[in-house]
Amino acid sequence: MGDQQMSPRIERACRPTPLASTRLALVALLASACGADPALRPTFDGPLWSDILTPIEGGPFWTDIGFVANSRDGSVVPLDLRHRTAVSDQFGGPFLAPRKVAFGDVRQLGQVVAWSPGDETIDVFAIDHTHALVVQAPYVTGVSEAGEPQVPDLSFTDPVFVDSDGSGDSATVSGIEVRHGFTTTEDWVVEFDGSDWFVTGTGSGRQARSPRVGKLWTSDNRELTFKLTGSASAGDRIELSTDAGVVEHDLGSVPLSLLEVPGTDLMLVGLWDREADLGDLLVWDRLTATEVGRIALPESAQPWRLTWDETGTLFVGDARRSAVYIISLDEDDPAASVVEELATPAPVQALAVVSQPEDTLVHREFYNHLLVAPVDDTRIDLYDLTTGEWVDVNPRDDVHGGLDMRSPVVGMSTVPMPIKLLEENNDGNRRIEHVVAVTTFDGALRLIEGPTGCLAIDVQGARLVADVNADMVTFSDLGSLSNPVLVTDTATSRQVVSSACGGIARDEAWKLVYDGVEGAWRAMGTLSGEQEGLIYEDERYTTDDGGLSWIILAGTWPTTDGDTFVFTVEDGVLEMGELAVSTTEVMTFNLPGPPLAFTMDMGPSGGGWDEDRTKAHILLPVTNSDAVLRIRPQGWSAEVNWR
């Protein structure tokens, strides 16, 4: 093998043998073979964006592969979504950590797209926010005769010593090693400052560890290993480059978003020109790396979020202008695409389209809804694409618009198929609805019901909460003897009845105090505040926002000033914000990333009649918890936890 290629002997020396039977043995082998290496980093470092490559789209894998972009260490991690493991792309050691797609530590990665230009190859695209580029790297370059995925060839240039002061010093590096999944395409400088050497990579940045003459040195993230020899004076340096096939695409503007055009080699790139303050959509041919054309958007537009509906219509959310663009894409002549502008209440943080075809057999009506999460707000607005009107999800609240999520939205994704909710209908059967997965900054994943824009609830919905050894409703009699009663509703067997729209009722404590002057009760919630409406006995009362209602029945002795009812309400919203990872450890969803909903065929098949095996899932990166989850929305459980 030539000087530019990684030695197979060296590669094997830094790879644990499959004969090792325990994790301890693997650690010992690694320590003995690569003793100079720093500790391995975790699999995830700020996972944020994800994409899924299905076998129908191409590639050598027969199952769905997820690609998760780490926002902090500049890498993309492949995951086997079916088998609950990282991708086993090493036949000799399927138990090893996945070989990442390395773009370099200094890059802050954004949206990621996996693409197969052929049946046996996979490339990964990502936005590099640090340098305002779209970067591309090969992940699999082919398949061997034995069926093993082939990874890209790694190479490095001969080191060149630069004697800056002409003193005649000479230094070099030898025994150079590069590693799949760690090494990226970049230029390296090993420079002497008069007392110490320090190393900087254009993609990996300034390294924390300084090399020592005669000692084996490894970069912070294992991108490069070498031995330094010779002498130098201040300012002398050694230059070399490594190559992993990464290509930078400068599209002339700042890339904000990526989206594939299904069934084609085309990719949409949302661009913003800082100097001209213009935004447009680039239609880009990935096969030839050329521009097909652009879709012009209004001045100062920032195409921030892109999504398709089931009919192939493109929806673009603007992060600067209060608008969503509805586009009929002309793939051959993008400039001829038809663009319709929909005014929104505010600039757009996230959007999703959810539809239901008419089904008279099960009494399901057609709807076609657009959900929009405004920037710098906590609500999600619902727009009816059929009637062309914004829908007021809760007409009783003060704000005309959607549902208050009580935390800013991170991202949304439409679940591709209807699912059974935990909530039951009047016949005792679980409701079946199309839903949209939504994550919020308060660390939670929830589901929005397609027909209503309300949040999905659990089996019970909003309900009273009792402390240990305490009644759910506590009455305090102040003054003369009184005995009013908070009536139990016969239809629901509850003293406090909640709205059918999940998310209106909140987790909060309520206090009802009788006002002897008004001859009525006043209601105060710890979050909702004091209510405007008064509570009159023997009449049903509803809170100002319509979230709760109840009846106070007058007793046989008159109610007196200061009498009080106290109770606590749990909102009953279907919500996931933490996961028990062991008997002693609970992982909180510390800043979940945008969810990605998808379907897979799961379960046994063959041997006669089979039920439909298509199951809905949600791939959820949890950014600051450095984990990625596969969640089953129908059973509302976290099935897989990659860490």
Residue 9's pLDDT is what? 28
Distance of CA 451 to the CA centre of its chain: 24
- Of residues 240, 266, 246, the one with CA closest to residue 173: 240
Rounded distance, CA 337 to CA 333, Å?
7
Residue 423's pLDDT is what? 86
Q: How many residues does the chain have?
A: 643
523, 558, 567 from 481: Cα distances, Å: 21, 8, 21
Write the burial class of residue 297 (CB in 10 Å: 0-12 exposed, 13-18 middle, 19+ buried): buried
Residue 583's pLDDT is what? 86
CB-based contacts of 181, cutoff 8 Å, min separation 6: 75, 97, 98, 99, 100, 101, 102
Backbone angles phi, psi at 397, to 5 degrees: -80, 175
Residue 363's pLDDT is what? 73
Residue 491's pLDDT is what? 81
Q: Is 413 helix (H, G, I), strand (E, B) or coil?
A: strand
Class of domain 251-343: mainly beta
Rounded distance, CA 462 to CA 495, Å?
12
Kind plus residue range of the DSSP H or E element containing 371: strand 367-374
Rounded distance, CA 135 to CA 244, Å?
12
- pLDDT mean for each 10 residues of the chain (643 residues): 34 35 34 50 92 94 94 94 76 68 96 93 97 97 87 95 92 96 96 96 95 95 95 96 98 97 96 94 97 96 97 97 98 97 97 91 86 95 96 81 91 97 80 96 97 94 79 91 93 89 94 97 96 96 95 96 96 94 90 96 61 87 96 94 91
The 3-state secondary structure of 498-512 reads: ECCCECCCCCEEEEE
Kindly write down the DSSP assignment for every residue of 458-492, as one continuous string: -SS-SEEE--TTS-SEEEE--SS----EEPPBTTT
Kindly write down the DSSP assignment for every residue of 106-172, as one continuous string: T--EEEEEEEEEETTEEEEEEEETTTTEEEEEEEE-EE-TTSPEEPPP-EEPPPEEE-TT-----EE
SS3 content of the chain, % helix, strand, coil (to 5): 5, 45, 50
Q: Is 287 helix (H, G, I), strand (E, B) or coil?
A: coil
Query: For the chain, what are the domain ranges?
Result: 41-59+71-250, 251-343, 351-456+574-642, 463-570
Dihedral sign of CA atoms 335, 336, 337, 342 in order:
positive
Per DSSP, helices labelled H in 62-107 are none
Single-letter residue type at 555: G
40, 99, 262, 412, 491 from 67: Cα distances, Å: 20, 12, 17, 18, 49
Q: How many other C-beta atoms are found inside a 10 Å radius of the C-beta of residue 195?
A: 7
End-to-end CA distance of the chain: 37
CA R_g for the chain: 30
Is residue 258 within 8 Å of residue 278, measured between CB atoms?
no
Is residue 376 within 8 Å of residue 408, measured between CB atoms?
yes
- Residues facing residue 119 across a β-bridge: none
